[in-house]
Amino acid sequence: MLTETISASGLEDILQKVVEGERLDFSDGVRLYQAEDLNVVGYLANIVREQKNGSIAYYIRNQHINYTNICNKLCKFCSFYVTPRDERGYVLEPEVIRARVREFRDYPIREIHMVGGINPKLPYEYYLDIVRAVRDERPQAHVKAFTMIELAQLERVAKKPLEEVLTDLKTAGLDCCPGGGAEVFSNRVHEELFRAKLDNEGWFDVARVVHRSGLRSNATMLYGHIETVEEKVKHLIHIRELQDETGGFLCFVPLAFDPQNTELSHLPPPTGQQNLREIALARLMLDNFDHVKAFWIMVTPPVAQVAMWYGADDIDGTVAHYEITHALGATSHRQALSEADLLHLIAEARRDAVERDAFYNPVVSSEGLPHSDAARDTNDVEATAC
């Protein structure tokens, strides 16, 4: 039956490549995007997912902090930013960030994820101070902060080479970087949607230096706006080439565009089918990435749960205070899940939950068990934290 379905979809040759571990090319990617039967694409992606990660579904206890919403880049797909003169603008002083971290001091957070807008008024020392504040307050958590776009801004305000900026940040306590800001590597999309922001080549240049400095990062792709299938496949191949070169990417995160309260609010949001296809395509094209994430806060928890069978091996985390796609009342999506909720989603999907740190090391309880096994008895702690 399955053989007939794959045969009817015309993807037998891709199945063979996947089984033999052969790299997929541009035309394979386009065909997978255009294939009518999403379940066949998901089946293929699941083969790769299980080759790499078996039945494991990673999750993390994390906290997000958006240190400023002021930004001068004016990206048309962004509902988070306000311009420098807007009275709704904010900057979190280091002491406020410290207090936010302290709020969760009884909760074993493993990663603090910190990003913000490109605020031209912030001095270089501010960025170092906020990393130090998090590091001081939470020495055991990994500090993941600053996209390639923000790092380019830091280089500008520091007036020194990026290599030196990264050394300063590491000394302050930075452990790794997130992947946002890549959007879609297409000059056309860059020109139409985010022309004030670092261009594609600039993003790659910064990522190269970051990886060379010993810091690892994620990579992303924002989909569901004006991009074409061909542009998305090229994006994935460019990211794959950089991973061949540096080996510095930890995880790929397909980011679903949320049009509400953006200049593109006339566009429909991505559907569940599209979200699953993007995750599956990432898993199939990025043969040199260990992990693909279903970021539940963007694709919704139910879709993230199903995505565990469509290529994703990571459902992200408990996520306290995520504002980037939810600014200005943009959506009614949930912004935090308890660990019990995450464990339930994963168990119902019949995958094996493993709590991880920022580098995908399993978190082990004091009894030597993976933390997911120990955590089932401590749901009261999670419920109060989230």
User: Which residues of this chain interact with ligand SF4, rule CB under 6 A?
Assistant: 71, 73-75, 78, 80-81, 117-118, 149, 194, 197
d(Cα 187, Cα 208) in Å, to the nearest integer? 20
In the complex with ligand SF4, the residue whose CB is nearer, 81 or 249, is 81
The 8-class DSSP code of residue 224 comes to S
In the complex with ligand SF4, the residue whose CB is nearer, 226 or 374, is 226
Q: How far is the CB of 122 from ligand SF4 (least distance, A)?
A: 13
In the complex with ligand SF4, the residue whose CB is nearer, 52 or 73, is 73
In the complex with ligand SF4, the residue whose CB is nearer, 193 or 353, is 193
In the complex with ligand SF4, the residue whose CB is nearer, 103 or 191, is 191
Q: How far is the CB of 111 from ligand SF4 (least distance, A)?
A: 20
In the complex with ligand SF4, the residue whose CB is nearer, 325 or 338, is 325
Q: How far is the CB of 293 from ligand SF4 (least distance, A)?
A: 19
Q: How far is the CB of 86 from ligand SF4 (least distance, A)?
A: 12
In the complex with ligand SF4, the residue whose CB is nearer, 37 or 263, is 263
SS3 269: coil
d(Cα 327, Cα 75) in Å, to the nearest integer? 14
d(Cα 226, Cα 253) in Å, to the nearest integer? 19
Q: Length of the chain, please?
A: 386
Alpha carbons within 13 angstroms on the beta-carbon side of residue 70 total 13
Q: How far is the CB of 33 from ligand SF4 (least distance, A)?
A: 25
SS3 228: coil
Q: How far is the CB of 183 from ligand SF4 (least distance, A)?
A: 8
In the complex with ligand SF4, the residue whose CB is nearer, 233 or 255, is 255
Q: How far is the CB of 203 from ligand SF4 (least distance, A)?
A: 12
Q: How far is the CB of 85 from ligand SF4 (least distance, A)?
A: 15
- 188 and 231 in contact (C-beta within 8 Å)? yes
In the complex with ligand SF4, the residue whose CB is nearer, 82 or 347, is 82
SS (H, E, C) 49-118: HHHHHCCEEEEECEEEEECECECCCCCCCCCCCECCCCCCCCECCHHHHHHHHHHCCCCCCCEEEEECCC
Q: Beginning with the edge strand found earlier in the chain, give each strand of the sheet holding 314-317 in spatial order.
A: 314-317, 56-60, 352-355
Position 123, amino acid: P
d(Cα 233, Cα 285) in Å, to the nearest integer? 8
Q: How far is the CB of 295 from ligand SF4 (least distance, A)?
A: 15
Q: Beginning with the edge strand found earlier in the chain, give each strand of the sheet holding 111-115 in spatial order.
A: 62-66, 111-115, 142-145, 176-177, 216-223, 249-256, 291-292
SS3 245: helix
In the complex with ligand SF4, the residue whose CB is nearer, 75 or 276, is 75
CA angle 9–13–16, rounded 5-degree value:
115
Q: How far is the CB of 354 from ligand SF4 (least distance, A)?
A: 31
d(Cα 383, Cα 46) in Å, to the nearest integer? 32
